[in-house]
Amino acid sequence: MKFVQIIDFETERLDEMEQVLEEAAKRFAGRPGGPTQRMLLKDRDNPRRYLALIEFDSYEEAMRNSDDPETSRMAERLGALCIGERVYTNCDLVGERELA
């Protein structure tokens, strides 16, 4: 079953965060078990608030990825660019459908 982690965070340094994510994507390219898709949402009512939706093939793959020291270092770098604490929500994907 696919798994999605939602990360709710605030930042005024999104460009720097995107650079960290691009560097990580290059390092992780071709490695099995990493994220399969990423979606970033910006709150229209709070311009500093974002929601990142990170999809994995399974919960187990996500946890293996989370345990990777390289992922931990990336998360620390991203956390330093955030305002306040990040909130994580872990979800099983029970349905997905194109509507258009």
Give the pLDDT mean for 3-8: 96
pLDDT digits (tens, 9 = 90+) for 71-88: 899 999 999 999 999 999
Q: How far apart are CA 58 and CA 15, in angstroms?
A: 29
Q: With beta carbons less than 8 A apart as the criterion, state whether 28 and 17 touch.
A: no
9 bridge partner residues: 50
Q: What is the pLDDT of residue 7?
A: 95
Can you say whether residue 94 is alpha, beta or left, with left for phi > 0 and alpha for psi between -120 and 50 degrees? alpha
Q: What angle do CA 94, 97, 100 make, to 5 degrees?
A: 160
- The answer, as to whether pTM is greater than 0.85, is yes
Lowest mean pLDDT: which of 16-20, 23-27, 35-39?
23-27
